[in-house]
Amino acid sequence: MRRFFKAFVYAWNGIVHGVKAERNMKMHVLAAIVVVVAGVLTKLSPVEWFIVMILIGGMFALELMNAAIERVVDLVTSKRHPLAQQAKDLAAGAVFVFAIFSAIIGLLLFVPKWLNFM
């Protein structure tokens, strides 16, 4: 049981390290704060909040995985290798794709509400 709870400590340490050490993670946290404030001001419905929380959680998770992949690649080789670069680029690409679609979904959620407000 003790090992089970230690896993949560390790996971929390990873999240804290990611927020402290990763510039992009800091940007995602800032963006999430802006989106949550905008959601409160816009009075999102429960379903819309569900969508926003999935997108924020997915973005955080992908950014942490991207950082983990970068660390592992750096650990395995210090030389420039095409496969190492591809691994890093693919992980960054996954984050970028999710960010683009999150932004599109955010616009689809927020813009109609803002247009109706005006």
**Which residue has tokens 């905008």?**
38
Catalytic residue among 22, 48, 63, 70: 63
How many angstroms separate the CA atoms of 112 and 105, rounded? 12
Note if 63 is an active site residue. yes
* Residue 92 tokens, joined: 């960054």
**Contacts by 33-36 with C-beta closer than 8 Å and gap 24+?**
35/106
How many angstroms separate the CA atoms of 53 and 59, rounded? 10
Could you tell me which of 32, 92, 30, 101 has the C-alpha nearest to residue 67? 92
62, 95 Cβ separation under 8 angstroms: yes
Tell me the catalytic residues: 63
